[in-house]
């Protein structure tokens, strides 16, 4: 049974921490304190609070909580792919780590790529770190979400399979313990955020297409 306001990925951590804390506490009651603190940390980190979504068919909402690190042009290694705009969001350990669909669409490709675990706030982590890349299509619009690990984040979680349809604001996965999320959108879109802006998954508008998607 899923506990409201708690991501299901956190339940094994809470159960294991509680069990170990109780066992070691039988031998040394002082060890209940660090165990209890760790239990509270996991409960805080894996929180999944209810959220009033901002829905707008012709715009991309933030796929993650955090702070915008960069808004830059981006070119796929495949030269036949069109150029895009990449919006990079850094998630600290204090942010909610649930990822949400930035726009309605169908998952057309999902590629997991092994890599390093450099701190997620450093430049070029998208080229080096382990990540999960999800490509979506909505009619004539193509966009993508990259879940990227960090120094503490060692696992990305995706809720989707290729062919799945998603609704704007729907949960699509999470990244554990500090990370980076990228949104890639078509060039020529109107970007509504800048580096340094704080964003909220499912609420903050990041960019709008030049014409409403139909």
All structural domains of the chain with their residue ranges: 8-45, 59-208
List C-alpha distances in Å: 165 to 138, 149, 191: 10, 25, 25
Residue 20's φ and ψ, nearest 5 degrees, are -65, -40
Does the pLDDT at position 39 exceed 60?
Answer: yes
Q: Give yes or no for residue 66 having a pLDDT over 70.
A: yes
pLDDT tens digits for range 128-184: 677 899 999 998 889 999 998 765 545 788 899 999 999 999 999 988 776 889 999
CB atoms within 10 A of CB 20: 14
Query: What's phi and psi for 187, nearest 5 deg?
Result: -65, 150
The answer to whether 179 is a known catalytic residue is yes
Task: Give the domain 59-208 fold.
Answer: Glucose Permease (Domain IIA) (2.70.70)
User: Using one digit for the tens of pLDDT, what is the confidence trace for 83-116?
Assistant: 899 999 999 888 998 999 999 999 999 998 876 6
Grade residue 127 by pLDDT with cuts at 50, 70 and 90.
low
Choosing from 62, 179, 187, 209, which is the catalytic residue? 179
Residue 24: other Cβ atoms inside 10 A: 15
Q: In this predicted structure, what is the pLDDT of residue 11?
A: 87
């Amino acid at each position: 049974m899923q506990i409201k306001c708690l991501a299901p990925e956190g339940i094994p951590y809470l159960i294991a921490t509680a069990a170990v804390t109780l066992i070691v506490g039988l031998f040394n009651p002082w060890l209940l304190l660090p165990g209890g603190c760790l239990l509270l940390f996991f409960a805080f980190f894996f929180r999944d609070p209810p959220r009033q979504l901002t829905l707008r068919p012709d715009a991309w909402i933030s796929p993650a909580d955090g702070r915008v690190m960069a808004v830059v042009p981006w070119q796929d290694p495949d030269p036949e792919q069109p150029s895009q705009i990449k919006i990079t969001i850094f998630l600290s350990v204090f942010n909610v780590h649930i990822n949400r669909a930035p726009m309605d669409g169908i998952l057309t490709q999902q590629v997991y790529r092994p890599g390093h675990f450099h701190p997620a706030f450093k430049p070029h982590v998208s080229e080096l770190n382990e990540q999960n890349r999800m490509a979506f299509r909505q009619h004539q619009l193509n966009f993508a979400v990259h879940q990227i690990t960090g120094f503490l984040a060692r696992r990305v979680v995706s809720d989707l399979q290729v062919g799945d349809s998603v609704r704007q604001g729907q949960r699509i996965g999470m990244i554990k313990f500090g990370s980076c999320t990228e949104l890639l959108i078509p060039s020529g879109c109107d970007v509504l955020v800048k580096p340094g802006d704080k964003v909220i998954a499912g609420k903050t508008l990041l960019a709008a297409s030049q014409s409403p998607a139909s």
